[in-house]
Amino acid sequence: MSEYKTVRGMRDFLPEEAKVMRFIESQARSIAKLYDFKEIITPVVESYELLSAKAGEEVKSRMFVFKDLGGRDVALRPEFTASVARLVASTLRTEPKPFRLFSIGSIYRYDEPQKGRYREFWQSNYELMGSNRPEADAEIILLTNALMKAAGLKNLVFKIGHVGVLREIFDQEKLKEKVQNVAMQLMDKKQYNDALKIIEKAEASAKCLTAIRELIQLKGENIFAVIEKMQACVSGFKQAVEAVKNLSEILKLVTESKKEMRIIVDAGFARGLEYYTGMIFEVSVPELDIALGGGGRYDRLIELFGGEPTPAVGVAHGLDRIMLAMQMQKAKPKISEEKTGIIIPIKEELKTEALKIAEGLRQSGIAVEVEVMGRKMAKALEDADRRKIDFAIIVGEKELKEGAVAFRDLKQRSQSTVLIPKLPETIKRKPAKQK
């Protein structure tokens, strides 16, 4: 037994798991197509400066950072948004907007490993850039719903809030951005009392403290009732009133176009990433108390990276967690699989013939393997059964003289002699297996 293990927080996907992962990935790609998001592929390694610019202390402290051999400070990406924003601020700067950009790949965060929390994990990421309108926010929420449904998940719960509401109150109070960020991070961790203390220490007014205290309490599924209460809470803060209106419009668009979605509005909801400016959301299922995906609006990030002012809204879905949720809900991925076969030469001297037939079939798009363990026919067939292989082609001298082989259907348990050129049509006639 080898002593080598995966590095803490990293994991292997064995064939069955890899299949499910690729299924989820294929659904993420179909959703990108359906919502017309174009794929971009960005590097796993980016400059530390870029990745740390606006990620927030939490994500920053968990980055895999190192110096490359050229002495550059680099890091493994802890999210996609910074890379997409870099592109939009540079190479894509003069392209007409909006951009609908999609990425899929591995992400690295030095999180404490536990169920659904890994140090290497997979995300599908969608960014809609160039629009500040609520319909753009609605598109991002709706596509998230569509992806979770396509993965076969049910009982989805969307938690939606708006950092603009809190930020506008803080801005009106002239609270420094650093103080705001610390308060938001504490709120993200549900440490509301600590957040309130920070705000109080920064000499926020009693009016501000009351509003924040009330907002933190406000959440519920009767979403427009919650919105109304939010309006009352923030009535003394002009810009915050606008932010609540914006949230209300987004919710109207979402609920009117997709009635069956379950949404909780949470006025005290904050997210770890610092760059959010507007609506934020997360999606989860009751079986798992961690988010399957999350996102929101970030209107100032592109500017911060030196680009044109570009409002934007986006979402990242955790593919590992979607997989976990599928397991918990016993959602079966719809994977239609090609039939597979094995070619068994009954004699050592027929090996070349077996390989030749295999090559011909593969050229016709048929998946086959050649018996490579030198086993006798009975043993090879037994093993093929165990591995749920669909058919076996037995290459024997007698049939070969007639240009034929023995074709054994391992599912139907039938056998016939088939001319080699007729093999593809014989195999393709049988229905593909469903898994």
Q: Does 118 sit near ligand AMP (CB under 6 A)?
A: yes
Q: Does 117 sit near ligand AMP (CB under 6 A)?
A: yes
Q: Name which position in 31, 291, 323, 350 contacts ligand AMP (CB under 6 A).
A: 291
230, 159 contact by CB (below 8 A): no
Q: Does 292 sit near ligand AMP (CB under 6 A)?
A: yes
Give just the sign of the alpha carbon dihedral 185, 190, 196, 197.
negative
Distances (CA, A) of 418 to 361, 364, 369, 429: 13, 16, 18, 13
Q: Rounded to the nearest whole angstrom, what is the least distance from the CB of residue 116 to ligand AMP in the complex?
A: 6
Distance CA 143, CA 35 (A): 7
Q: Does 316 sit near ligand AMP (CB under 6 A)?
A: yes
Report how many helices (DSSP H) and strands (DSSP E) the chain contains, helices first.
17, 19
What count of residues does the chain have?
435
Which of these ranges, 32-40, 251-259, 291-299, 368-376, lies near ligand AMP under the rule CB under 6 A?
Answer: 291-299
* Count of positions on this chain that bind ligand AMP (CB under 6 A): 17
Show contacts with ligand AMP in window 247-276 (CB under 6 A). 272
What type of residue is 62?
A: R
- Phi, then psi, of 419 in degrees rounded to 5: -65, 140
Q: Rounded to the nearest whole angstrom, what is the least distance from the CB of residue 402 to ligand AMP in the complex?
A: 58
Spell out the residues 6+ positions from residue 306 whose beta carbon is closer than 8 angstroms to its own.
89, 90
Site string (143-172) toward ligand AMP, x via CB under 6 A:
------------------------------
Q: How far is CA 194 from the centre of its chain?
A: 32
Q: Name which position in 111, 242, 303, 369 contacts ligand AMP (CB under 6 A).
A: 111
Q: Which is nearer to ligand AMP, 291 or 377 (CB)?
A: 291
Closest Cα to residue 293, out of 332, 268, 257, 323?
A: 323
Which of these ranges, 139-147, 298-306, 313-321, 379-387, lies near ligand AMP under the rule CB under 6 A?
Answer: 313-321
Q: Rounded to the nearest whole angstrom, what is the least distance from the CB of residue 126 to ligand AMP in the complex?
A: 12
Distances (CA, A) of 137 to 216, 227, 245, 249, 276: 23, 17, 14, 10, 13
Which of these ranges, 111-119, 198-206, 355-363, 371-379, lies near ligand AMP under the rule CB under 6 A?
Answer: 111-119
What type of residue is 360?
A: G
Q: Does 320 sit near ligand AMP (CB under 6 A)?
A: yes
Buried (b) or exposed (e) across 173-212, using 16+ Cβ within 10 A? bebeeebbbbbbbbbbeeebeebbebbeebebeeebeebb
Q: Name which position in 77, 100, 109, 297 contacts ligand AMP (CB under 6 A).
A: 109
Q: Rounded to the nearest whole angstrom, what is the least distance from the CB of residue 285 to ligand AMP in the complex?
A: 11
Show contacts with ligand AMP in window 51-80 (CB under 6 A). 79
Distances (CA, A) of 101 to 125, 280, 295: 8, 19, 14
Q: Which is nearer to ligand AMP, 157 or 418 (CB)?
A: 157
Which of these ranges, 110-118, 207-215, 235-243, 426-434, lies near ligand AMP under the rule CB under 6 A?
Answer: 110-118
Q: Which is nearer to ligand AMP, 52 or 248 (CB)?
A: 52
Closest Cα to residue 77, out of 57, 59, 91, 95?
A: 59
Q: Rounded to the nearest whole angstrom, what is the least distance from the CB of residue 291 to ligand AMP in the complex?
A: 4
Q: Which residues bind ligand AMP (CB under 6 A)?
A: 79, 109, 111, 116-118, 121, 123, 272, 291-294, 316, 318, 320-321
